[in-house]
Chain A
Amino acid sequence: MKTIYIMWLRQIKRYLRSRSRIVGSLGQPLLFLLALGYGLGSTFKAAGEGNYFTFLAPGIIGMSIIFTAIFSGIELIWDRQFGFLKETMVAPVGRMNIMIGRTLGGATVATIQGLIVFFVTLIFGFRPTNWVLLPVLFLCMLLVALLFTALGTAVASTLEDMQGFQLIMNFLVMPLFFLSGALFPITGLPPALTALVKIDPLSYGIDSFRFLLLGRTVFGLGLDLIVLILFTAACLFMGNYLFSKIEA
């Protein structure tokens, strides 16, 4: 328990100390939100889909969570390069606790980042339809954050260095994001694309955000939660397994 706590605390401290990172990682979601939100707004409205900015806001919250979460997981490679990983690896504590502590820390950071983006959308005039559902929303955000931090950790456990970083960006993070329906409605898509959207766990995360913020859903909150929980469990399991196999 102490191990989990101290690993969690470390992630939080590192996050709070890198203010430039906090601000820096707000840039991209903000750009998407403002450029796309206002840029495509009239087209979206003309297509009869309503207010694009409102539609986009939950997707951008999801975007900031998945990016921060996967990066937090990938940070493991950094620890390996700078040698700190060895320090934790030879400590007489279960590797599972180390992995869980790290993952919880990363997930907390990603959730905070998502909350910041949520408050930013409020500043730009976004309003949830039902404020009472916000606590549930925060839980879903944490779940999504947990899922992708665990995924990032699992991937990072198999990588020796940052060379694979571009690969992860282009073949994991970007597809997960673009195929999730964060940017567009996922109804009435070509069948192949629909299939891809359906196997992307982030789709269910975004769908749950959209339901809790706007009351609109494709899969239903029940299915969203089941899929998210199953994926999170699978990623934690996989991350834990791969992490336990690391040799220095």
Chain B
Amino acid sequence: MPAGTEKIIEVKNLTKRFGDFVAVDGISFEVKKGEIFAFLGPNGAGKSTTIKMLTTLLRPTSGSVSLDGHDPARDPSAARRAFGIVFQDPSLDDELTAWENMEFHGVLYGVPKKLRRGRIEQLLKFVELWDRRDSLVKEFSGGMKRRLEIARGLLHHPKVIFLDEPTLGLDPQTRNGMWNYLRELNRTEGITVFFTTHYMEEADRAAERIAVIDHGKIVASGSAAELKARTKKESLEDAFLELTGKTIRDEDASAMDHLRNRAKMWRRGGR
């Protein structure tokens, strides 16, 4: 569906501080309804923090967000009804089966039973997990978990779907299949797609518009062609490097990562 002029996401002067550290520094951008929008940036640039603020998981320090007309900070319930999200980190219940994880999600999002059952079958077949539907997720490989998460994120056909590095660790077949499915949803149901990725050719191919964030600030936005023209580069990858520099960024391993490791050790020892 060609994007209209109606805006579904409007961000103004959005800022998030953690103590002295400014993770997101007064960014403003908008996403039009029905648009496929890529949000690019090096590690630690502020992508995930921004997505968390858009999806009601973090409260902004200042600035405003409007998502389908609702402020995620002030009216989280209304905002939550408008979007779906595939997180960057795993968010499945390991002790439930693939099917149960889907069912759980469908119930939480109020997808009517008949529609839910049909879509679960369709999506699990699509990510080739239908045969494994009754296996516990903890028996799955990393790639299988990722596929299940993508299937789950697509279950309730939201107005906006956020995909935080959805294709990380996926094989080209699944990646291609996922994008075909997303484009189809985008075309038939007008679903707005907001995604981040480190694969520049993916952004180049899929996104109608791109915003590049670095050090918490938006350094450029426009179509892939516009970014290439502006930086006088042949590829989006080169344009991206031109815009954000060539220094390698270290993302601080968060407390959460440490914990996850410790929990894994604990579990391994405990069972």
Contact = CB atoms under 8 A, between A and B. Distances in A.
Given A90-B57, A247-B59, A82 B107 contact: no
Interface string A75-113: 000111111101111111110000000000000000000
Given A6-B107, A90-B57, 13 more contacts: A2-B110, A6-B104, A13-B95, A17-B95, A18-B95, A79-B93, A82-B94, A90-B55, A90-B56, A91-B105, A92-B110, A93-B110, A161-B259
Contact of B57 (A20, A89, A94): A89
Interface residues of B, number: 37
Given A90-B80, A92-B110, A161-B259, A13 B100 contact: yes
B87 A161 contact: no
B90 A83 contact: yes
Interface of A is mostly: helix
Nearest to B261: A81
Interface in B77-116: 77, 80-81, 83, 85, 87, 89-96, 100, 104-105, 107-110
Given A81-B259, A87-B91, A10 B96 contact: yes
Contact of A162 (B89, B90, B110, B262): B262
A160 interface: yes
Interface in B43-59: 52, 55-59
Interface in A109-145: none
A2 B107 contact: yes
Contact of B109 (A80, A86, A92): A92
Contacts of A86: 57, 87, 89, 91
A3 B96 contact: no
Given A92-B77, A247-B59, A84 B91 contact: yes
Contacts of B263: 78, 81-82, 162
Count chain B CB atoms within 10 A of each CB in A78, A83, A94 and give the residue with the most: A83
B91 A247 contact: no
B248 interface: no
Contacts of A87: 87, 91-93, 105
Interface of B is mostly: mixed
Nearest to A24: B270
Contacts of B136: 17
B249 interface: no
Contact of B256 (A18, A81, A89, A90): A81
Contacts of B109: 91-92
6 contacts: A6-B104, A6-B108, A13-B100, A14-B95, A162-B259, A248-B57
A10 B136 CA distance: 13
B271 interface: yes
Contacts of B87: 83, 86-87
A167 to B, nearest CB: 15
B255 interface: yes
Nearest to A80: B256
A248 B58 contact: yes
B89 A160 contact: no
B117 interface: no
Contacts of B96: 10, 13-14
